[in-house]
C-alpha cells in the first residue's frame, strides 16, 4: 500500500474509533524503530518531520528514509507529514519532496514565535488546502496557540521554552471560531490548543482539569463531529524513561507530560492524530547514556544505537497499543479517491 494521504488513515481511525500516534523523525534509527513497532503490532503509520528535522537531515535524506520505509514494509500504510509548516512555501517544498500530508501552522507568524491573527491563519491555511488537495495531499491546520495554562506562556515552535505571555483566549481553541475555521479552510484535520506544549516540561505536576482542558476537546467534537482532532505536545513523559536518563548522568527534573488515559479520553471524543516526539527522545537518550556507561571502552556507534532503536520501538509499540491502532494496519482500504499521485 505504501505512501498514502494522511486523510485516508484518519478517516479509517474515525470509522473504527481509534487514534494514531504521529512520531517525529530526524534520522534512520527513528524511522527503523517506528517501522519495526508498527510491523510488530500491525499498525498504520504517521511519520512526521519538523522544519528542524528537514534542516538537520536535509530534504534528500529524509525523502530517501521515507522511501526506505515504504520499500521495506510494503504492507504497511504510511503517511509522511510535515510538522508545523510555518508558511505556504514550506508546505510546497515538502509536497515536492513527496510528503503526503502537511501542517500549515497559521496560528503563529512565519517566524514560528509570534501569534498570528485569525484572518491570516484562515488565508494561508485555505491557500495551502487548495494546492494540497489538487495533489492528493492532506492538510492539518491549527487554531489557538500551544502553551501552558499554568504559567500563561506560549511555547514556540521547535522550542519547548517560554515564548512570551499569552492570554487564555489565545491558549485555548475557541469552539465558535473552530466551526468557522473548518468551514472556511476545508482542512482535513484540526490541531487544537488545550494547555499542552512541546517538550518534557509541560506541567509542574500531574495535570488536572483546569490545566489540561480535555473538556474543550469534548465540546469541539460535539460541534465538529466530522473533523479529525489533533493533539500536539502529547508525550506522556513517563517517569521510568526520565529515571534512566537521570540514573546515567542526565538532569531532567520536574517533568510532567500528558497521561495516556487523558489521550484515551480524547480518542473517545474525536482525537485521531496524537503527536509524540519527546517520549522517543527520552527513550533514545536514556538508552544511549546507559549503553555508554555500561561499556566505556566500546566506541562502535551500533553499540549504543541498537539499544536506542529497541527502546524507542518499545515506546512506539506501547502507544500503538494504547491508542487502539494495533491490528488496524492491514484493515486500511485504499480507495481510488485517495490514491496519492506523487512520485519519487
Ligand atoms: O514541533 C515539535 C517537535 O517536537 C519537533 O521538534 O523542531 O526540535 O524537531 P524539532
Ligand atoms: P511532544 O514534545 O509532547 O512530544 O510533542 C510533539 C509535537 O507536538 C510535535 O508537533
Ligand atoms: Zn506540535
Neighbouring CB atoms inside 10 A of 305's CB total 18
- Three cell numbers written together for 153: 506562556
Determine the Cα angle at 188 with ends 18 and 66, to 5°.
75
Residue with CA closest to ligand 1 atom 4: 277
The predicted pLDDT at position 148 comes to 95
Ligand 2, residues at Cβ distance < 6 Å: 24, 83-84, 198-199, 232-235, 275-278
Residues 143/190, Cβ–Cβ less than 8 Å: yes
- Three cell numbers written together for 16: 473504527
Active-site residue 83, yes or no? yes
The predicted pLDDT at position 163 comes to 61
Of 39, 42, 83, 277, which residue is the catalytic one?
A: 83
For residues 172 and 193, give the distance between their C-alpha atoms in angstroms, rounded to a whole number: 5
For residues 145 and 35, give the distance between their C-alpha atoms in angstroms, rounded to a whole number: 31
Q: 28: exposed, middle or buried (C-beta count within 10 Å: 0-12, 13-18, 19+)?
A: middle
- Three cell numbers written together for 315: 515506546
Determine the Cα angle at 71 with ends 68 and 77, to 5°.
105
Q: What contacts 234, CB < 8 A, 6 or more positions away? A: 196, 257, 258, 263, 274, 275, 276
The predicted pLDDT at position 159 comes to 56
Ligand 1, residues at Cβ distance < 6 Å: 24, 50, 52-53, 83-84, 158, 198, 277
- Enter the pTM of the model: 0.96
Residues 198/232, Cβ–Cβ less than 8 Å: yes
The predicted pLDDT at position 166 comes to 85
Half-sphere exposure of 254 (CA within 13 A, CB side): 3
| Ligand in closest contact with the CA of 22 | 2
Give mean pLDDT in consecutive 10-residue pieces for the chain, a chain of 344 residues: 92 98 98 98 98 95 95 96 98 96 97 95 98 98 96 67 73 98 98 98 94 98 98 98 98 97 98 98 98 98 98 98 98 67 44
For residues 52 and 86, give the distance between their C-alpha atoms in angstroms, rounded to a whole number: 11
Domain range list for the chain: 6-341
> Could you give phi then psi for residue 3, rounded to 5 degrees?
-80, 130
The predicted pLDDT at position 114 comes to 92
> Which fold does the domain 6-341 belong to in CATH?
TIM Barrel (3.20.20)
The predicted pLDDT at position 334 comes to 76
The predicted pLDDT at position 157 comes to 45
- Three cell numbers written together for 82: 510535515
Neighbouring CB atoms inside 10 A of 111's CB total 11
Amino acid at each position: 500500500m505504501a505512501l498514502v494521504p494522511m486523510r485516508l488513515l484518519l478517516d479509517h481511525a474515525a470509522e473504527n474509533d481509534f487514534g494514531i500516534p504521529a512520531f517525529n523523525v530526524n534520522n534512520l534509527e527513528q524511522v527503523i524503530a517506528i517501522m519495526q513497532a508498527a510491523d510488530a503490532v500491525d499498525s498504520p503509520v504517521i511519520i512526521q518531520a519538523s522544519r528542524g528535522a528537514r534542516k538537520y537531515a536535509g530534504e534528500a535524506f529524509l525523502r530517501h528514509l521515507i522511501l526506505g520505509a515504504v520499500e521495506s514494509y510494503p504492507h504497511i500504510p504510511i503517511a509522511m507529514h510535515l510538522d508545523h509548516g510555518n508558511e505556504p512555501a514550506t508546505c510546497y517544498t515538502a509536497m515536492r519532496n513527496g510528503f503526503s500530508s502537511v501542517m500549515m501552522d497559521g496560528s503563529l507568524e512565519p517566524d514560528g514565535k509570534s501569534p498570528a491573527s485569525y484572518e491570516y491563519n484562515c488565508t494561508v491555511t485555505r491557500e495551502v488546502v487548495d494546492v494540497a488537495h489538487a495533489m492528493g495531499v492532506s492538510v492539518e491546520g491549527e487554531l489557538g496557540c500551544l502553551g501552558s495554562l499554568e504559567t500563561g506562556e506560549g511555547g514556540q515552535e521547535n522550542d519547548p521554552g517560554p515564548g512570551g505571555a499569552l492570554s487564555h483566549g489565545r491558549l485555548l481553541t475557541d469552539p465558535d471560531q473552530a466551526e468557522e475555521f473548518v468551514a472556511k479552510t476545508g482542512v482535513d484535520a484540526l490541531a487544537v490548543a488545550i494547555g499542552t506544549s512541546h517538550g518534557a516540561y509541560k506541567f509542574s505536576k500531574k495535570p488536572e482539569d483546569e490545566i489540561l482542558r480535555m473538556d474543550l476537546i469534548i465540546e469541539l467534537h460535539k460541534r465538529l463531529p466530522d473533523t479529525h482532532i489533533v493533539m500536539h505536545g502529547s508525550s506522556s513523559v513517563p517517569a521510568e524513561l526520565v529515571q534512566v536518563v537521570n540514573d546515567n548522568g542526565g538532569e531532567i527534573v520536574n517533568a510532567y507530560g500528558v497521561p495516556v488515559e487523558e489521550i484515551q479520553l480524547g480518542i473517545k471524543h474525536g482525537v485521531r492524530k496524537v503527536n509524540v516526539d519527546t517520549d522517543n527522545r527520552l527513550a533514545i537518550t536514556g538508552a544511549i547514556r546507559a549503553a555508554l556507561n555500561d561499556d566505556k571502552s566500546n566506541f562502535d556507534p551500533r553499540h549504543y544505537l541498537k539499544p536506542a532503536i529497541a527502546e524507542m520501538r518499545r515506546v512506539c509499540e506501547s502507544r500503538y497499543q494504547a491508542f487502539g491502532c494495533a491490528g488496524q494496519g492491514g484493515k486500511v482500504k485504499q480507495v481510488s479517491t485517495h490514491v496519492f499521485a506523487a512520485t519519487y
